């Protein structure tokens, strides 16, 4: 995909949670468009495999082992990416997790863990990356929401709160950083086959079939479905697109 509007050659992208699932699908898309990639996650073995996969695509890739809920670790991660890859053009806040319980059963510690991982981390990473994104002259931030940014579910207490927050946080940053030519957008994935939803399918009876019946495309999403939207939102093709939240869901959010 290395042509004109969508060419990312020489650019540097950070993908939190880029060592698996949707994050790896997005990282592969960016690498195929020419970007060098920093994969951020906690599991070193998983990150090593992802980095090798990305290097096979002909770009530089590094793993920076970081817990995105630790602000000082995030600050060190940003310094390391600038030192090793030279710049930051693209930040993808994708790391996330879920604890599936109704509100009356969720512990405060569990609420905090989900909000810290899914929402506060996006703030911490974005703030830490801002000077480098501004210096690049054409920064791009992509935040990962969910169908729970739009809908609720009894088991998605903290998760839905975090993913609703991601959309509003993206809008705030889009306004704040437009003068710096930084575009900030959110992607709202539908139901995608990953480790996260394998857990959900085990815990929530009938979920697999309900998703299939409700999705006009009549399938679960695959991680490769996120390459195209990511390259679009990371490239100059989207320079006048900011503050949006784009569903990538096989039509799930437009089906009554
Ligand atoms: P995975 O569980 O496959 O990936 C989650 C990633 O986040 C892992 O790579 C994990 O890496 C990383 N991560 C989690 N916590 C931390 C942390 N504290 N610090 C650093 N990295 C962390 O799930 P998905 O690919 O499905 O999810 C990716 C994103 O997409 C999430 O934000 C999720 O909410 C969202 N999403 C997913 C949907 C789906 O259907 N799959 C639907 C809608 C949204 P490590 O283990 O190495 O820390």
Q: pLDDT tens digit string along 33-48?
A: 999 999 999 999 999 9
Does residue 211 have its Cβ closer than 6 Å to ligand 1? no
Q: Which ranges of 38-144 does DSSP label H, i.e. alpha helix? A: 44-55, 71-85, 108-115, 121-136
User: Given this structure, which CATH class describes domain 4-194+223-247?
Assistant: alpha beta
159 is known as an active-site residue: yes
Does residue 250 have its Cβ closer than 6 Å to ligand 1? no
- 76 vs 204, which has greater pLDDT? 76
- What is the number of the ligand 1 atom nearest to the C-alpha of 25? 25
Which phi and psi angles does 185 have, rounded to 5°?
-135, 165
Average pLDDT over the chain reads: 96
pLDDT, average across residues 221-238: 98
Separation of CA 94 and ligand 1 centre (Å)? 6
Cα separation, 139 vs 132, in Å, equals: 8
> Strands, DSSP E only, in the chain?
12-16, 36-41, 61-65, 90-93, 140-144, 183-189, 245-248
Q: Which residue has the tokens 């009894």?
A: 154
pLDDT, average across residues 13-34: 98
Q: Residue 73: is its pLDDT beyond 80?
A: yes
Does residue 149 have its Cβ closer than 6 Å to ligand 1? no
Domain coordinates in residue numbering, the chain: 4-194+223-247
Q: Residue 201: is its pLDDT beyond 90?
A: no
CA-nearest residue for atom 32, ligand 1, is: 96
Separation of CA 4 and ligand 1 centre (Å)? 31
Token digits for 105? 């059963």
Cα separation, 255 vs 217, in Å, equals: 10
pLDDT, average across residues 173-187: 99
Reported pTM: 0.97
Give 65: exposed, middle or buried? Use CB within 10 Å, 0-12, 13-18, 19+: middle
The DSSP bridge pattern shows strands 90-93 and 61-65 to be unpaired
- What is the number of the ligand 1 atom nearest to the C-alpha of 223? 25
Helices (H) and strands (E) in the chain, counts: 9, 7
């Amino acid at each position: 995909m290395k042509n004109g509007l969508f060419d990312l050659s020489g650019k540097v992208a950070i993908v939190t949670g880029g060592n698996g699932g949707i994050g790896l699908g997005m990282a592969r898309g960016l690498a195929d468009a020419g970007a060098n990639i920093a994969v951020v996650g906690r599991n070193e073995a998983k990150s090593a495999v992802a980095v090798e996969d990305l290097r096979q695509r002909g770009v530089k890739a590094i793993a920076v082992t970081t817990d995105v809920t630790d602000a000082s670790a995030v600050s060190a991660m940003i310094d390391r990416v600038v030192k090793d890859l030279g710049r930051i053009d693209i930040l993808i806040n994708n790391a996330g997790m879920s604890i599936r319980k109704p509100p009356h059963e969720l512990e405060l510690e569990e609420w905090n863990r989900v909000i810290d991982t899914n929402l506060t981390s996006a703030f911490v990473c974005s703030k830490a990356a801002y000077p480098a994104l501004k210096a690049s002259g054409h920064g791009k931030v992509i935040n990962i929401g969910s169908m729970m940014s739009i809908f609720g579910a009894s088991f998605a207490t903290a998760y839905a709160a975090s993913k609703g927050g991601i959309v509003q946080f993206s809008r705030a940053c889009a306004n704040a950083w437009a003068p710096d030519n930084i575009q900030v957008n959110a992607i709202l994935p539908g139901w995608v086959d990953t480790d996260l939803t394998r857990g959900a399918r085990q815990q929530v009876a009938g979920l697999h079939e309900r998703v299939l019946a409700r999705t006009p495309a009549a399938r679960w999403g695959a991680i490769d479905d996120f390459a195209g939207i990511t390259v679009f939102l990371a490239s100059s093709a989207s320079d006048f697109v900011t503050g949006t939240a784009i569903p990538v869901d096989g039509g799930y959010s437009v089906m009554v």
